[in-house]
Amino acid sequence: MIFRKHQPPADDPMRDLPLVEAPESVWVSIEAALNAGEPPRVARFRWWQLAAAFAMVLVAAAVYWTSTHRLKPRWEVVRVEGAPSVGAQRLGGTGFMAEGQWLETDASSKAMIRVGAIGTVEVDSNSRVRLVAARPAEHRLALARGRISASVSAPPRLFFVDTSASTAVDLGCAYTMDVDDAGNGLMHVTLGSVSLEWHGRESLVPAGASCRTRAKLGPGTPFFDDAADSFKQALSEIDSGTHGTGLETVLHSARVRDTLTLWHLLSRVDATDRRRVYDRMVALSPLPSGVSPDKALQLDAPTLKHWREDLAWKW
């Protein structure tokens, strides 16, 4: 076979070159390659690649959406009676309240809040409650008005209820709390204990005891519910700052278990009255070993704590 396809022009020096026939072996190898017939490469459509790309787009969209539209923490709310409202919406059966939202009941409605996974709060009629924080380490409500009954099963200091006069710190318990329109309240503990705290003041309220709270004054002095009425009335006078015969009455009518009240009074009265409270406490229940009278009167914190732990056996 001779290659003659291209004839150079007349003035081209290439024209003078002799024509040479290609060796036969070259043509044989070319024809063999052509006969082997390797098909040309064509781009294939692979479904798994498309699916993977689609999944990646979905993931990216989900990440973007959650970062820009993060849901506010919220708790479930169940209508118990009437038509309570969450925010501006009436609650028909079950709904949610998000952080910052108010739950409100009127004279004929009641509701129940599920406090995450740690308990429940029943909201009585004529009450106003706000969800302050719904986080794993802080479950916090604010009670502006009305009455709630809380039942919490969680480690201490996870559930809080703020009022204008105190913060109720759950120490593992069940309790009710009332707050009137003026911000004054009453807490009653039925299981475990609650610490009422406000501006450095702290009242420990164990099961079977109650404690008043007063707007601008904070938590009062806890007392057992089976204490004499005269004892409770006198204590109320002391808590409200009325200077009268309140302390005299409290000391005179105190029983052994009323050392709960006296223990709290010890650090809330002046030095002169402190001695009287101390003397009455010791008369009701001998000072345990390891408690120094002087340190107790000086309100040494570890001494008072040790004394309180011993007294709790008589409460």
Partner 1 sequence: MEMVRLVVLAIAGLSPLAAAEFTLTIGNPIAANVPRMKTAGLAVRLENCADVSKATLSGTGEGTAGGARKSVPLQVTPAATAGVYAVGLTGPLNGAWIANLRATCGKAQAGAIVPFWGSVYVRDAIKLLPRFATEAEVQNALNESTGGPK
Q: Which residue's CB is nearer to partner 1, number 273 or number 310?
A: 310
Q: Which of residues 145-164 bind partner 1 (CB under 8 A)?
A: 153, 155-156
Going by the DSSP 8-state scheme, the letter that residue 2 receives in this structure is: -
287 binds partner 1 (CB under 8 A): no
204 binds partner 1 (CB under 8 A): yes
Q: Which of residues 210-239 bind partner 1 (CB under 8 A)?
A: 224-226
The answer to whether the beta carbons of residues 197 and 219 sit under 8 Å apart is yes
Number of residues that bind partner 1 (CB under 8 A): 24
Write the binding mask 113 to 142 for partner 1: x where contact by CB under 8 A, - elsewhere.
------------------------------
Task: Identify the bridge partners of residue 142 per DSSP, sorted by sequence position.
Answer: 130, 162
Q: Which residue's CB is nearer to partner 1, number 73 or number 208?
A: 208
110 binds partner 1 (CB under 8 A): no
193 binds partner 1 (CB under 8 A): yes
Nearest to 185 by CA among 140, 236, 127, 146: 146
How many C-beta atoms surround the C-beta of residue 3 within 10 A?
A: 9
Q: Which residue's CB is nearer to partner 1, number 71 or number 301?
A: 301
235-238 contacts, C-beta under 8 A, 24 or more apart? 235/261, 236/212, 238/265
Nearest to 261 by CA among 271, 272, 249: 249
313 binds partner 1 (CB under 8 A): yes
Q: Which residue's CB is nearer to partner 1, number 77 or number 173?
A: 173
Which segments of the chain does DSSP mark as H helices, in order? 24-36, 47-68, 229-239, 246-253, 259-266, 271-284, 293-297, 301-311
Options 95, 116, 185, 192; binder of partner 1; rule CB under 8 A: 192
How many C-beta atoms surround the C-beta of residue 68 within 10 A?
A: 7
Q: Which residue's CB is nearer to partner 1, number 120 or number 126?
A: 120
Q: Which residue's CB is nearer to partner 1, number 80 or number 191?
A: 191
Instruction: Put residue 134 in one of left, alpha, beta given phi > 0 → left and psi -120 to 50 → alpha.
Output: beta
Determine the Cα–Cα distance for residues 74 and 98; give it in Å rounded to an integer: 4
206 binds partner 1 (CB under 8 A): yes
Options 208, 237, 253, 300; binder of partner 1; rule CB under 8 A: 208
Q: Compute the least distance from the CB of residue 285 to partner 1, in Å.
A: 12
User: Where do contacts with partner 1 occur on this chain (CB under 8 A)?
Assistant: 153, 155-156, 171-174, 190-193, 204, 206-208, 224-226, 257, 309, 312-315
